[in-house]
Chains A and B, each alone.
Chain A
Amino acid sequence: KAGVTQTPRYLIKTRGQQVTLSCSPISGHRSVSWYQQTPGQGLQFLFEYFSETQRNKGNFPGRFSGRQFSNSRSEMNVSTLELGDSALYLCASSSKMGGDNEKLFFGSGTQLSVL
């Protein structure tokens, strides 16, 4: 079974631009969560989607947004990029089925650098 797939693996953008990151969850998983990882702030929750609906949102500005498609694939968008948005963006999926629905499985992430 393929794991969580994130594309692209690396991105370089300049301040003020916007960026879209993509995530394909494990087959059969309907929930997708996004986390930001930085050396200073560690791993922080961005938002979570289930059945195309945002179920939960962390404390990030409105420049960070996301969506989920009917096939459970998800995208996150960051508009008006700032230097502080440089980070590893991680996507995690989980299954609704049985007792394992609480386990989050992470992808390898997208490393975003804002210059």
Chain B
Amino acid sequence: GENVEQHPSTLSVQEGDSAVIKCTYSDSASNYFPWYKQELGKGPQLIIDIRSNVGEKKDQRIAVTLNKTAKHFSLHITETQPEDSAVYFCAASNHLSSGSARQLTFGSGTQLTVLP
């Protein structure tokens, strides 16, 4: 089955700096890669996702890049703010039968701390 590795496990940055979180996946059939942000006491919140036919996607301060050949994808947060502090999870999936939701395989998470 799919295996997703995520690095680093913890990341501290100064407010205004950029943060980069990297993930690798094992199954070359995976074709969907979402990123989730989880704040304390809450469930994971989808912040951005990318499909395998796209190399990069950007949404304001957040961007995701995908390298299918190397089987890795990354989350980039620019101009970080204290409210960006949370645990971030990457995930990969290749399952999408008609009318069925994807089964996500998650990375182990990155605790991002933005220092004021």
Contacts and interface: CB of A to CB of B under 8 A. Distances in A.
Interface stretch (B13-21, B41-49, B58-66): B41-49
A45 interface: yes
B103 A31 contact: no
Interface string B87-116: 001010101110111111111110000000
A56 to B, nearest CB: 5
B49 A42 contact: no
Contact of B101 (A43, A48, A109): A48
Interface residues of A, number: 28
A102 B32 contact: yes
The CB with the most chain A CB atoms within 10 A, among B41, B100, B105, B109, is that of B100
A102 B96 contact: yes
Main secondary structure on chain A at its contact with chain B? strand
A51 B101 CA distance: 12
Contacts of B109: 42
A33 B43 contact: no
A33 B103 contact: yes
A45 B104 contact: yes
28 contacts: A42-B109, A43-B44, A43-B89, A43-B91, A43-B104, A44-B106, A45-B103, A45-B105, A48-B101, A48-B103, A50-B99, A55-B100, A55-B101, A56-B101, A56-B103, A58-B103, A90-B43, A90-B44, A92-B101, A101-B99, A102-B32, A102-B102, A103-B46, A104-B34, A104-B102, A105-B46, A106-B45, A109-B43
What are the 7 closest A-B residue pairs judged by CB atoms, nearest first? A106-B43, A43-B106, A31-B101, A94-B101, A55-B100, A108-B43, A106-B44
